[in-house]
Amino acid sequence: MARPQTDIDAGRELLLNQVEELVRKRGSADIAMNELAAAAGMSPSNLYRFFESKEALLEAVAEKWFADKIAIMEEVTASDLPVRDKLFAFFARRFVVLNARFNADPELFKSYCELGEQYIEVIRGYVDLGDHYLAMIIAEAMDEGYFGELSIDEALSLINQMVSPYCMPDALIHIGPKLSEAKLSQIIDTIFIGLGHGYEAKAQTPHIKIVS
């Protein structure tokens, strides 16, 4: 990120709010720089002082969308929660934020999701960052003996798939009322107890007993 430039930063913030107004009014239809300049009452060349390209604008929109989620991931990963609770919080706290944003304005939320699909390359860095933090939590769980013989990458992929309705904004739109923190908690429990413990092995040695 460039060094702080108060005027520029304030102008960017105003323009990002203007983008949100445009998305709210028109949905996810492509936003032209000229149009944004007109909506903000400035000349196109002035607009380029704040965002040097449409890519820079879209990256700023994504940065704003993901800021609170990144803060949550950093905070949870650095916390001293027990690892099971850490994995739960990692997904649950972001789910709560996403859910609140969906409920505040479902149409706007859908439009942002569609925008994200159109500019998937802008999103990808944030998905990778999420995987980076998740891998840290998985490594911690493995140090405590969880997930059997799976590699970090294998566990990461399987966990991402099993909790995907709680991460995918699309899922909120389609099955929102079926999602809950209580169910997510049960899924996390299932992952900690079952993941990487091969049903085959269990089938061969069927007697599992709690010994202390």
- Residues in touch with a second copy (CB under 8 A): 84, 157-158, 160-162, 164-165, 168, 170-171, 174, 178-179, 183, 186-203, 205-212
The amino acid occupying position 40 is A
Minimum CB separation from a second copy for residue 186, in Å?
Answer: 6
- C-alpha count within 13 angstroms, C-beta hemisphere, residue 123: 12
Residue type, 191: I
At closest approach, how far in Å is the CB of 1 from a second copy? 29
Our CA angle for 129, 15, 127, nearest 5°, is 10
The Cα–Cα gap between 160 and 155 comes to 8
What torsion do the CA atoms of 50, 54, 56, 59 make, to the nearest 10 degrees?
A: 120
Q: How far apart are CA 14 and CA 77, in angstroms?
A: 32
Nearer to a second copy, 7 or 200 (CB): 200
CB of 4 to a second copy, least distance (A): 36
By C-beta, is 7 or 143 nearer to a second copy?
Answer: 143
CB of 195 to a second copy, least distance (A): 5
Q: How far apart (Å, rounded) are the C-alpha atoms in residues 195 and 188? A: 10
Q: Which is nearer to a second copy, 45 or 205 (CB)?
A: 205
Using the structure block, give the residue that is written with the tokens 């739109």.
173
Cα dihedral 170, 72, 115, 153 sign: negative
Q: Which is nearer to a second copy, 121 or 199 (CB)?
A: 199
State the nearest-atom distance from the C-beta of 99 to a second copy, in Å.
15
Residue 34 sits at the vertex; the CA angle it makes with 30 and 35, to the nearest 5 degrees, is 55
Considering beta carbons, is residue 44 or 198 the nearer one to a second copy?
Answer: 198
Cβ proximity to a second copy, 75 vs 117, nearer residue: 117
Cα separation, 98 vs 167, whole angstroms? 8
Q: How far is the CB of 182 from a second copy (least distance, A)?
A: 10
